[in-house]
Structure 1
Amino acid sequence: MSATTRHAEPTTFLRAATRPRMLALLAVLLLAAVVCARLGMWQLDRAEIRGGADEAQAQAEREARAPQDIGDVFAPQTSFTGELVGQQVVARGSYEPDGQLLVVERAIGEEVGYLVLTPLRVTDTLPSTPGDDAGEAAPVLPVVRGWVADPDDAAALAVPTGEVTVTGYLQASEGPGLGGQPAGRVDAISSAELLGSWAGPIWTGYVVLADAEPADAAHSAGLELVPTPTRSGSGMNIQNLAYAAQWWIFGGFALFVWIRLVRDEAAGDGPAPVEPVDPAEPVGEPGAVTQQTGASAAP
């Protein structure tokens, strides 16, 4: 008689997991998971490198474009879209010194200081802009004229008077700040909050100053220009991020397979070998064999 098989007896998950063959399988699958994790990290590094290069190229292209009149780009009190970040614009109007604010806790490099935020009352917007024919105040544009390390330095810097032409880069308005700042200071460049301080329609973004005509004397007196804004979260390449996620999923699946196999092993679903039966050995109890033989021999 040939060898037969039977199902293994059910046991606990821990006992099934510590069987030699399951431990050997665990070692193999853990090695595969580690390889997948390393490949995922490699793809993550590639995503950062390629994303940074792509963003640098896009930023260079934005800076190379000729600046456009801000009224031609988007109107006050309309939605600011992500592709506008870093767009060069030109605006003409007059600064309002009484409305100037300092934005606290803003860093350039490793030094923390203050942004000098000045309202520019724009006078050359499109004819359809509110304020042109309804007796309302002209629209106001928040302009970050620069950065100072000491707030006393900002107080000593004169605000240009008369009509000015400013060229700069657009950046999206921030969310509302936490508040609690002294008079003349804010912790966020929020158009919604600035609207309460500055009369008239307001843009839902602000301009980071790059140049002015006539030149702003404050820059020669210590006001430092702010670096060109970049889009948040644009430093990662999406394709490489997807590859990284795939490798991590593969690594997790390897561990899932081992857990599933251990559960099947513990449930007794796996076959277990049975020793061969000796053909010369009676099957069943001797008494049953004798009675069956006797019954067969009866006439």
Structure 2
Amino acid sequence: MWKTALKPRWIAGLVFAIVVSGVFVLLSQWQFGRSTQPEAAVNPATEEVRVLTETLEPGAFFPGTVSDQMVSADGTYDPAKQVLVPGRLKNGENGYWVVSAFAVTGAPAVTGVAASPETWIPVARGWVADPDDAGAPPSGVVNLTGRLLPSESPLPSTAPEPGRASAVSVAELINYWDVSMYPGFVAAASELAAGSDMSAAAVDGALKPLEIGPQPPAQQVNWLNLFYSLEWVVFAGFALFIWWRLVKDDYRRDLEEEHDDDPHHDALPTPATSEQLQQKVKP
């Protein structure tokens, strides 16, 4: 068999089969990559700044359509309503998010027995490595611009110490601050107070900007592309199988030719006719 496979034409055939199989494998990888790509790119509309009071309604569920939306709002901070959220990484360093309560001017009031006169929203103003570096938020009327994000889930079985929160959770912060709030929070990008930007991105200090960009959509498996990727793998194996089959057929033909050319092989006896059989049985 190896003697047949080493014929020049079958060596050339093997090279051709390997090339074809390689092309099929590359096509399989391409189809597999397409099967896990996001169906839609990041929505550029999220980078257009919209007014918070026209984008999100307080006291309601947080709709996924407004997640990552850049928003703006006027209002004031309350320096007494500020917490640190531990366990936040920045450039590989563990630290804290500084989260302050922001009273939104012109926000709809939430109705209810425990509702506060003003409607607030948590604002993640920046990151600090040392809790002592978390300064007070800007005073006076502030024009806030940032990325709107859904509320995080509080950590179970966790009792943070005073001035701490387990997460940027509206449900948890309502209990700390005892105010009515929006069902999400804002990661600050700019904080204009008296015409100057007082945000972490504009002021060089211990408070560092969060720099949260738009999140890509969740990847979905495209089963059709995944099936195509497996199909190309089968084709790659089939190309090598065809070469092996052709070599095997050629090998069998060589054996038959050698058998026919051998003068010493015994010829097969011809079957006896019925007349010959009758003559043998006569007395």
Counterpart Cα distance in 2 of 1:34 and 1:99: 63
Instruction: Tell me which residue corresponds to 1:167.
Output: 145
Relative to structure 1, the CA distance from residue 40 to residue 143 in structure 2 (aligned partners, 3 Å threshold; closer, same or farther) is farther
Indicate which of 178, 193, 207 corresponds to 2:172. 193
Relative to structure 1, the CA distance from residue 47 to residue 224 in structure 2 (aligned partners, 3 Å threshold; closer, same or farther) is farther
Indicate which of 155, 159, 170 corresponds to 1:177. 155
Shift of 1:179: 4.9
Q: Is the 8 A contact 1:114 1:150 kept in 2?
A: yes
Shift of 1:187: 3.1
Listed one character per residue, the Cα deviations across residues 220-274 of structure 1 (whole Å, up to 9, x for unaligned) are: 232111113423544x5x69x44542235537989xxxxxxxxxxxxxxxxxxxx
Q: Is the 8 A contact 2:155 2:167 kept in 1?
A: yes
Relative to structure 1, the CA distance from residue 78 to residue 116 in structure 2 (aligned partners, 3 Å threshold; closer, same or farther) is same
Counterpart Cα distance in 2 of 1:43 and 1:110: 35
Indicate which of 32, 38, 41 corresponds to 1:54. 41
Q: Is the 8 A contact 1:40 1:246 kept in 2?
A: no
**TM-score, normalised to structure 2's length?**
0.62
Instruction: Tell me which residue corresponds to 2:80.
Output: 98
Give the letter for the 1:42 counterpart: W
Listed one character per residue, the Cα deviations across residues 123-157 of structure 1 (whole Å, up to 9, x for unaligned) are: 3214xx326x9894111101011111222222xx1
Give the letter for the 1:206 counterpart: F
Instruction: Tell me which residue corresponds to 2:30.
Output: 42
Percent identical: 30
CA-atom RMSD in angstroms: 4.9
Counterpart Cα distance in 1 of 2:35 and 2:230: 17
Equivalent residue of 2:139, what SS?
Answer: coil
Listed one character per residue, the Cα deviations across residues 194-244 of structure 1 (whole Å, up to 9, x for unaligned) are: 22222232211111111112046463232111113423544x5x69x4454
Equivalent residue of 1:166, what SS?
Answer: strand
Q: Is the 8 A contact 2:126 2:208 kept in 1?
A: yes
Q: Does the alignment pair 1:141 with 2:121? A: yes
Counterpart Cα distance in 2 of 1:37 and 1:223: 51
**TM-score, normalised to structure 1's length?**
0.60
Residues paired across the two proteins, number = 249
Relative to structure 1, the CA distance from residue 177 to residue 41 in structure 2 (aligned partners, 3 Å threshold; closer, same or farther) is farther
Equivalent residue of 1:158, what SS?
Answer: coil
Give the letter for the 2:182 counterpart: W
Instruction: Tell me which residue corresponds to 1:231.
Output: 215
Give the letter for the 1:188 counterpart: A
Q: Is the 8 A contact 1:40 1:244 kept in 2?
A: no
Q: Is the 8 A contact 2:41 2:216 kept in 1?
A: no
Shift of 1:118: 0.7
Instruction: Tell me which residue corresponds to 1:107.
Output: 89
Instruction: Tell me which residue corresponds to 1:207.
Output: 186
Structure with the larger RCO, 1 or 2 (CA within 8 Å, 6+ apart)? 1
Map residues 1-299 of structure 1 onto 2, 5 A cutoff.
39-45=27-33, 51=38, 54-55=41-42, 58-59=43-44, 61-63=45-47, 65=48, 67-126=49-108, 129-130=109-110, 136-137=115-116, 138-154=118-134, 157-180=135-158, 182-183=160-161, 184-214=163-193, 215=196, 217=198, 219=200, 220=203, 221-231=205-215, 233-234=217-218, 236=219, 241-250=222-231
Relative to structure 1, the CA distance from residue 253 to residue 201 in structure 2 (aligned partners, 3 Å threshold; closer, same or farther) is farther
Q: Is the 8 A contact 1:91 1:122 kept in 2?
A: yes
Equivalent residue of 1:195, what SS?
Answer: helix
